[in-house]
Structure 1
């Protein structure tokens, strides 16, 4: 068996970068940006009022003038106006261009308007561009606003829209096939016989991938028949970018997955990891179009399957589409723990954030790697290293939140 750290390194070192594609800005949310976004003009493109009020030249006020004739109104969306002279004023709305000869905006709460005359109180501290968002103060034309290799969220969409990007170069969304195996599994709408269970791994993994941003997912169930496995998996590898299998990967008589993958030309990188849950985990790659594409064969027990997806597959897919590695999260144990087997333990836990800003977790013991009912009450899992067996209260360990 290899260690958790060795498994992680073998996976991530084997992952390249998926192809790019150009999508509309409406389709870009949740993708990885693969081009820099550059300002096509200065932002803001003009001196703009940040509030409703009166635009004047501050020199007149600072030399004693308190009454100003209102020469016009500047509204957002209208061309830039101009004061007739430095002793007059313009009524101005938020977002409107500052009139030429004006250099500040006084908020409407500070003034009194009678007819076409505005009266200003004594004691105002008027500086150059008070109440004004100055042209180019956010960025100059040609400045890189967003670098490539970042997740496109609502704020990235806002910036792309502001510079007129109707289309964006992003990472291709990989098509991921999730295949469950096992003759004991029936579809969720069926009433199982006493020797059967409803199929849940495939739809669970699909939901976890979609909530992590990988939305192009297809599901299939294949019986424990070597010929049927080979036929269906061959077709899946021809049309999909990646494959995740749930079950059939251990040493049982009906565990045909490793042998079948080898027949299909999928190269193995490792099988068996020194971890609980999830020891019989398999990872390999297949080649298509000159690109190496990942294949994960996860244990069939629900907790093992879900944990291995979160610990290994999702970070691998994030690297594949070009996203930077996320910073690790650490949490402190809320009570002492002892674990004797020399395996890395992935222990489901309930998050307990404290007012101090520290994250603590309450480990939740579960019956077996099939006890998904208990795990469903938790928020993630902590990773306890294999080199020791006593873990005291208050010590921090790496914490992995479940996909939401």
Structure 2
């Protein structure tokens, strides 16, 4: 068996990058940006009023003038105007260009307006560009506002829209097949016989992938029949960008997956990881059109399957589409733990953000790696290293939240 760290490195080192495509900006949410986004002009593009009030020349006020004749209105969206002289004023709206000859804005709350005259009190602090957002103070023309290899969220869309990017270059979304195997599995709308269980792994994995941005997913159940497994996997390899199997990967008589993958020319990178749960995990790649495409064969037990997806598959897929590998959070144990086997332990836990700003976790008790009912009450899992046997209260360890 290899260690968790060796498995992680073998996977991430083998992952390349997917192809790119241009999409409309409104369709880019949740995708990985693959081009720099540059400012097409200085931002803001003009000296901009930051509040409603009057635009004046501050020198007039600071040399004693308190009455300003209002010569008109500067509205947001209208061309820049000009004061008739430095002793006059224009009413101005938030976002409007600062008029020529004016250099500051007095907020409406400090002004008394009688007919067409603004009366200002003593004691105002008015200087050059008071309440003005100066031209180019956010960025200059041509500055890189967004770098590639980042997730497109609402704030990235706001920036791209502000510079006129109606289309944007992003990573293509890989098409992923989720393949549970086993004669005991029936669809969720069936009433199972006493010896059967409803399929939950594929639905769970699909939901986790979609919530992580991998929305192109299909589910294919294959019974424990080696010829059928080979036929259907061969067909999936012709059109899918990645395959995630669940079950059939251990040493049982009907665990046909490793042998079948080898028969199909899928190169194995590893099988068996010194971890609990998920020890029989398998990873490899197949070739198509000059590309190396990943195959994850996860254990069939629900907790093992879900944990391995979160720990290995999702980070690998994120790197594949160009996102940087996220570093795990750290959380402190709420109570002492002892774990004697020479294995890394992935322990489901309930997370608590405390007023101190620290993240603490309370490990949850669960029966077996099939006890997904108990795991559903948790927020993620804490990773306890195999080099240790005693894990004291208050010590921090890596924490991986479940996909939302």
- TM-score normalised per structure 1: 0.99
Match of 2:14 in 1: 14
Match of 2:294 in 1: 294
Q: What are the residue-to-residue correspondences of 1:125-274 with 2, within 5 Å?
A: 125-274=125-274
Equivalent position SS for 2:221: strand
Equivalent position SS for 1:307: helix
Match of 2:317 in 1: 317
User: What RMSD in Å do the two structures reach over aligned CA positions?
Assistant: 0.7
Q: Distance in 1 between matches of 2:337 and 2:297?
A: 30
Q: Distance in 2 between matches of 1:337 and 1:6?
A: 25
Match of 2:380 in 1: 380
Aligned length: 404
Match of 1:355 in 2: 355
Cα deviation for residue 220 of structure 1 reads 0.8
Cα deviation for residue 328 of structure 1 reads 2.2
Cα deviation for residue 100 of structure 1 reads 0.6
Superimposed CA distance per residue, residues 164-211 of structure 1 (whole angstroms, 9 cap, x where no aligned partner) = 001111111111110011000000000000100000000000001111
Cα deviation for residue 325 of structure 1 reads 1.6
Superimposed CA distance per residue, residues 10-58 of structure 1 (whole angstroms, 9 cap, x where no aligned partner) = 0011011111111110111111111000000000001111000000011
Q: Distance in 1 between matches of 2:281 and 2:325?
A: 22
Equivalent position SS for 1:270: strand
Cα deviation for residue 355 of structure 1 reads 1.3
Superimposed CA distance per residue, residues 267-320 of structure 1 (whole angstroms, 9 cap, x where no aligned partner) = 100001101000010000011121111100000000000000000000101111
Cα deviation for residue 327 of structure 1 reads 2.4
Match of 1:25 in 2: 25
Q: Return 5+ residue gaps in structure 2 as ranges.
A: none
Q: Distance in 1 between matches of 2:219 and 2:328?
A: 31
Corresponding position: 1:68 with 2:68 = yes
Task: Give structure 1 regions of 4+ aligned residues with deviation exceeding 4 angstroms.
Answer: none
Superimposed CA distance per residue, residues 115-140 of structure 1 (whole angstroms, 9 cap, x where no aligned partner) = 11111111111110101111000000
Q: Distance in 2 between matches of 1:354 and 1:111?
A: 46
Q: Distance in 1 between matches of 2:326 and 2:189?
A: 38
Q: Distance in 1 between matches of 2:108 and 2:271?
A: 71
Cα deviation for residue 361 of structure 1 reads 0.6
Q: Return 5+ residue gaps in structure 1 as ranges.
A: none
Q: Distance in 2 between matches of 1:305 and 1:343?
A: 17
Q: Distance in 1 between matches of 2:125 and 2:395?
A: 54
Q: Distance in 2 between matches of 1:265 and 1:255?
A: 18
Q: Distance in 2 between matches of 1:374 and 1:213?
A: 26
Equivalent position SS for 1:17: coil
